[in-house]
A and B are shown apart, each in its own frame.
Chain A
Amino acid sequence: MTTKLNTPELSRRALLKSAAAGGVTLAASATVTAGATTAAQALEKETKENPITTKQDWNQVLGDGVDANPYGKPSEYEKNVIRRSVPWLTASPESSINFTPLHELDGIITPNGLCFERHHAGIAEVDPTEHRLMINGLVDKPLVFTMEDLKRFPRTNKIYFLECAANSGMEWRGAQLNGCQFTHGMIHCVNYTGVLLKDILAEAGLKTNAKWLMPEGADASGMNRSVPIEKALKDCMVAFKMNGEALRPEQGYPLRLVIPGWEGNMWVKWLRRIEVGDMPWHAREETSKYTDLMENGKARRFTWEMDCKSIITNPSPQAPITHGKGHTVLTGLAWSGRGTIDRVDITLDGGKNWQKARIDGPSLDKALHRFYFEFEWDGRPLLLQSRAIDSTGYVQPTKDELREVRGTNSIYHNNGIQTWHVNGKGEAENVEIS
């Protein structure tokens, strides 16, 4: 919805044209007031740079032939659509995080190259022929599988969101980061192909006292977590494909654990071993990290499930309204680790009045849901919020409601309602309201 001027080699013609098209640079958009669009459109009709009456290069000359890009890549005009990081958050890029550009995407599927990254020891570059998955511990027969072996189990395809428990974690004390990429971008949703974990476990044979699993990664952090057996047998997958192609190295190539609806840290990447045990391990990532500290000094542990949450992706600070007043499309995402999304409500006035948004596209268990809300913008400032309700009746709380129960030190699981203030120029800011 935002026209962009991120042209690689900007011709003078294109520049004039886009300036005429009504302010795509921030500087220009700052001067756009409600109603400017019509003026810009009128100007376009008369100017020599009219995109219809002017012949474009691509109307006349031959483009690249097949195989110019054997893998393929997005248009040069989309080069702004990238993951971004917040350098001050972490000490080193090998143990760090970046964010999915939610404001640039639509539908419910995240393209593989835009899925946010979180590594604890950089990206392991694993040779799939040298990769093994070991199942050991409380099993009848400890087993080792090659990637070839794993692909011979019955396969399944599932679309699931993966959200980092620390998504929106920087916002516990108040509005901090100006952009939904940064406030909510530790999430992605892809179609996984893989095999059910229960089938692999059955092959090894679980002993009767098998109660917990400890998946472990092959990277230099040896990521390990404790997973209760009930969840493992219910819906966990061992995946080798995302959106039809092999997992990206940064998403755990060649093998990752999929734990639908639960915090992303548990979805161990570069999965090389699963130990079966009778009690949890209390690994570093479920004690020092990923425990939720309350105000009284006590901390919640094993906070696995991702609560129901939603975010308006457009308009948002990185995606202002550039067309001025008139018909406006608001859109966003909603999800729940406990099921599907029943309803999303939208307010334009900071929560005085709410209206139902339109959920469009598939409504799948533990997957992103896309919602739209179309309205006539009168050019007056807006206080936008979305509120999701999931299939269990869980209502997305306000940030203050969460703080009331949890204080502000819990870092993880901030699923509070986000507010964007949109000013008369269409620019949006991350704010909190009374």
Chain B
Amino acid sequence: MLKFPKTLSIVFCLSLCATPVFAGKLNLGREATKAEIKAWDIDVRPDGQGLPEGKGTVEKGEQVFAEQCAACHGDFGEGVDRWPVLAGGLGTIKSEDPVKTVGSYWPYASTVFDYIYRAMPFGNAQSLSPDEVYAVTAYILYLNEIVAEDFELSKKNFTSIKMPNEKNFFADPRPDTPSRSKKKPCMKNCKKEVKITKRARIINVTPEEDKKTAAKE
């Protein structure tokens, strides 16, 4: 090989060494096993794809919620201190102070299941069984007046749940302010008078600690 004439080695190299590697032909990684996929693939979509086998009643959900969720979210999902509010807020979405909850805002019930199954209870995630998640989801839907008190949520009836705010979501329309070609940015004598209308110092919510640090500067 070392004695290859120059031209030959170039030809040789072009076909082997320097050939750009085609994507997908690197033979990196290994095939995932069914058990591995099952262990991690817990996501649930609005069309029900990904829902595990199982079911749970509002009543059972109330128990689970009282034991595992109410300390932060309150017995009725009203939220303790600054922990998230999960229920109520109906009719507030257009107001000055919208209260976004599962009932007042969330477009899909699958999101409630998916999120609780992967992330709650906070600090002990993925500890609930599918049946417990069905139950607690049913209870949160009940708190939001989406299902009745005697309801049992299951893999079968899941996609029959419709959320009241679903129709109020729409695609991102940005950019939503005029571009340079529509409105040339003004450079000279753009306004006659300027007044201060709002001040952060008056609101005074910048962290205290930082004021101390700032005072040292």
Closest to B195 in A: A434
Residues of B within 8 A of A220 (CB): 119, 123, 125
Residues of A within 8 A of B196 (CB): 383, 421, 431-433
Residues of A within 8 A of B169 (CB): 287, 291, 298-301
**Least Cβ–Cβ distance between A126 and chain B, in angstroms:** 15
Q: Decide if B43 touches A224 in the complex (CB within 8 Å).
A: yes
Which of A80, A295, A350, A430 lies in contact with B216, CB distance below 8 A? A80
Residues of B within 8 A of A392 (CB): 179
Which of A120, A205, A216 lies in contact with B43, CB distance below 8 A? A216
Q: Decide if B115 touches A353 in the complex (CB within 8 Å).
A: no
Which A residues from 404 to 420 make CB contacts under 8 A with B? 405-406, 409, 413
Cα distance A307–B172 when bound, in Å? 12
Decide: A141 near B217, CB < 8 A? Known: A433-B196, A433-B197.
no
Which A residues from 183 to 217 make CB contacts under 8 A with B? 198-199, 202-205, 214, 216
Q: Decide if A288 touches B175 in the complex (CB within 8 Å).
A: no
Closest to B209 in A: A84
Q: Check A275 for interface membership: any CB of B closer than 8 A.
A: yes
Q: Check A45 for interface membership: any CB of B closer than 8 A.
A: no
Cα distance A264–B144 when bound, in Å? 31
Q: Decide if B203 touches A393 in the complex (CB within 8 Å).
A: no
Q: Check B23 for interface membership: any CB of A closer than 8 A.
A: yes
Q: Decide if A177 touches B114 in the complex (CB within 8 Å).
A: no
Q: Check A40 for interface membership: any CB of B closer than 8 A.
A: no
Q: Check A272 for interface membership: any CB of B closer than 8 A.
A: yes
Q: Check B105 for interface membership: any CB of A closer than 8 A.
A: yes
Cα distance A298–B168 when bound, in Å? 5
Q: Decide if A134 touches B23 in the complex (CB within 8 Å).
A: no
Which A residues from 311 to 338 make CB contacts under 8 A with B? 317-318
Q: Check A402 for interface membership: any CB of B closer than 8 A.
A: yes
Q: Decide if A395 touches B185 in the complex (CB within 8 Å).
A: yes
Q: Decide if B207 touches A84 in the complex (CB within 8 Å).
A: yes
Q: Decide if A149 touches B28 in the complex (CB within 8 Å).
A: yes
**Least Cβ–Cβ distance between A178 and chain B, in angstroms:** 4
Residues of A within 8 A of B93 (CB): 293, 297
Of A178, A392, A405, A421, most B-chain CB atoms within 10 Å: A178
Which A residues from 1 to 28 make CB contacts under 8 A with B? 2, 4-6, 24-27
**Contact-residue size bin, chain A (C-beta under 8 Å from the other chain):** 35 or more
Cα distance A272–B46 when bound, in Å? 23
Q: Decide if A434 touches B193 in the complex (CB within 8 Å).
A: yes
Cα distance A182–B213 when bound, in Å? 14
Decide: A401 near B177, CB < 8 A? Known: A282-B107, A433-B194.
yes
Q: Decide if A203 touches B23 in the complex (CB within 8 Å).
A: yes
Q: Decide if B172 touches A25 in the complex (CB within 8 Å).
A: no
Q: Decide if B26 touches A203 in the complex (CB within 8 Å).
A: yes
Which of A2, A216, A430 lies in contact with B200, CB distance below 8 A? A430
**Least Cβ–Cβ distance between A268 and chain B, in angstroms:** 13
Cα distance A252–B32 when bound, in Å? 23
The 13 sampled A-B contact pairs (Cβ below 8 Å) are A174-B203, A175-B198, A220-B125, A221-B118, A221-B125, A300-B173, A352-B189, A387-B185, A393-B180, A393-B181, A395-B178, A409-B96, A429-B200
Residues of A within 8 A of B (CB): 2, 4-6, 24-27, 80, 84-88, 90-92, 94-95, 120-121, 134-136, 141-146, 149-150, 152-154, 174-179, 182, 198-199, 202-205, 214, 216, 220-222, 224, 272-273, 275, 277, 279-284, 287-288, 291, 293, 295-305, 307, 317-318, 345, 349-355, 383, 387, 389, 392-395, 397, 401-402, 405-406, 409, 413, 421, 429-434
